[in-house]
Amino acid sequence: MDFLGSLLGEGSPTALPVVFGCEQLGGYEWGEVDIGEIRLAIAEAVELGVRLFDTADCYGRGVSESRLGRALGSGRDSATISTKFGVRFNARGGVFYDSSPEWCEVALLASLERLGTDWIDLYQIHYWDGVTPLDDTVAALERLRSKGLIRAYGLSNTAWESVPSSIWAGLSTYSMEYSLLNREHEDSARRAVAFGGWFMPYGVLAQGLLSGKYDIETRFGSDDRRSDPRYRHFTPAGLRRGMRMMETLRACARDLNASPAQLAIAWTRKMIPRCLPLVGIKSSRQLTEAAEGSVLDLPEDVTMRLLGAVLDD
Ligand SMILES: NC(=O)c1ccc[n+]([C@@H]2O[C@H](COP(=O)([O-])OP(=O)(O)OC[C@H]3O[C@@H](n4cnc5c(N)ncnc54)[C@H](OP(=O)(O)O)[C@@H]3O)[C@@H](O)[C@H]2O)c1
């Protein structure tokens, strides 16, 4: 079933092919976040035709889900919600993964409560725990679907090789990091959509770097995850690489009278068929840019020029 295609009103001029990323709404380790601004952007997104809002039970430890539920309010029926399970916290605050069928069901009930809704449109396995057979998790998801508690399910952060071929046809989405600065999962994305699902890349702006507002001197405070070397686009080497990419991206953006962020978003849609880019949004301005970028039809020569810059990298 092409759940997202029909839900997004494929071909409808009012449905925008972009997902509103709500990790920032959780307010945790994303530097300065104005929750009022994000709430405003959510209301505007519904008006603009952004159909899908992506959150997770671990974003701000449930806070992102609660805030999203409240922000959508009575607009919930015209929005679709994606949330995820499988990232848990131990007593010391450390993270562990759990994609067991038991946890899948417990976590879902808690998400429904926080979001203030009776159903989840898209329920994703956030990370595979490396132990639970994914067939078993999918069987649990099918049970939840038959009860009407979820409408579709997807998989995230799990390498192609770890996924049994039996489950691909049931997955509505596959989500991995993908951008002009990270093409690691491009082949997997193409193979996944060939099964009929959608690719939902995150990090398409390389956590903001591809918007062009950062430079080689950029350093984040300890309240921002981008200060952690695991966010490799913001290490000194990552920034040098990013700035080389920005030269080409800026030049192409100037030629098209668009912004670098818009081109970075449009590029992912040009590269992968059935691609729904996720963009983490902190303000109305960022929302507008993402919405416009999602419908920008990148000319072939610009796509090739950007691809060349990636290959030269
Ligand atoms: N499945 C998963 O495991 C997974 C993993 C990560 C994220 N996600 C989802 O994907 C979403 C997006 O991923 P991400 O947040 O990591 O990366 P991203 O979308 O590449 O970057 C988001 C950041 O870029 C900046 N930004 C956004 N639009 C901008 C614009 N137009 N101009 C300038 N700066 C802009 C904002 O931060 P500043 O303004 O502070 O720079 C924003 O927080 C998340 O919100 C979450 O819902 C899913």
Q: Which atom of ligand 1 is nearest to the CA of 212?
A: 33
Determine whether the shortest distance from the Cβ of 23 to ligand 1 is under 6 A: yes
Closest Cα to atom 37 of ligand 1? 208
Residue 312 placed within a domain: no
Q: φ and ψ at 224, to 5 degrees?
A: -130, 125
Q: Structure tokens of 152?
A: 């579709």
Residue 159 placed within a domain: yes
Residue 13 placed within a domain: yes
Task: Please choose, from the candidates 173, 133, 167, 134, the residue with its C-alpha nearest in 3D space to the C-alpha of residue 152.
Answer: 173
User: The domain that contains 82 carries what CATH number?
Assistant: 3.20.20.100
Residue 101 placed within a domain: yes
Q: Which atom of ligand 1 is nearest to the CA of 206?
A: 20
Task: Please choose, from the candidates 238, 226, 299, 59, the residue with its C-alpha nearest in 3D space to the C-alpha of residue 156.
Answer: 59
The whole-angstrom separation of Cα 100 and Cα 85 is 10
Tens-of-pLDDT digits for all 313 residues of the chain? 577 777 666 555 568 999 999 999 999 999 999 999 999 999 999 999 998 999 999 999 999 999 999 999 998 988 999 999 999 999 998 999 999 999 999 999 999 999 999 999 999 999 999 999 999 999 999 999 999 999 999 999 999 999 999 999 999 999 999 999 999 999 999 999 999 999 999 999 999 999 999 999 999 999 999 999 999 999 999 999 999 999 999 999 999 999 999 999 999 999 999 999 999 999 999 999 999 999 999 999 999 999 999 876 6
Q: Is residue 242 within 8 Å of residue 209, measured between CB atoms?
A: yes
Residue 8 placed within a domain: yes
Determine whether the shortest distance from the Cβ of 26 to ligand 1 is under 6 A: no
Give residue 177's pLDDT: 98
Determine whether the shortest distance from the Cβ of 25 to ligand 1 is under 6 A: no
Structural domain boundaries enclosing 25? 3-209+271-296
Give residue 310's pLDDT: 82
Determine whether the shortest distance from the Cβ of 180 to ligand 1 is under 6 A: no
Instruction: Return the ∠ at Cα 16 (arms to 79 and 67), rounded to 5°.
Output: 35
Determine whether the shortest distance from the Cβ of 157 to ligand 1 is under 6 A: yes
Q: Which atom of ligand 1 is nearest to the CA of 204?
A: 20
Determine whether the shortest distance from the Cβ of 206 to ligand 1 is under 6 A: yes
Give residue 15's pLDDT: 85
Please give the tally of structural domains in the chain.
Answer: 1
Residue 200 placed within a domain: yes
Residue 120 placed within a domain: yes
Determine whether the shortest distance from the Cβ of 261 to ligand 1 is under 6 A: yes
Closest Cα to atom 24 of ligand 1? 208
Give residue 4's pLDDT: 75
Centroid of ligand 1 to alpha carbon of 66 (angstroms)? 19
Give residue 6's pLDDT: 73
To test the pocket of ligand 1, the residue of 202, 209, 234 to mutate (highest count of ligand atoms within 8 Å of its CB) is: 202
Q: Which atom of ligand 1 is nearest to the CA of 205?
A: 20
Centroid of ligand 1 to alpha carbon of 25 (angstroms)? 11
Determine whether the shortest distance from the Cβ of 22 to ligand 1 is under 6 A: yes
Determine whether the shortest distance from the Cβ of 65 to ligand 1 is under 6 A: no
The whole-angstrom separation of Cα 63 and Cα 81 is 15
Handedness of CA 65, 67, 69, 71 (dihedral sign): negative
Residue 84 placed within a domain: yes
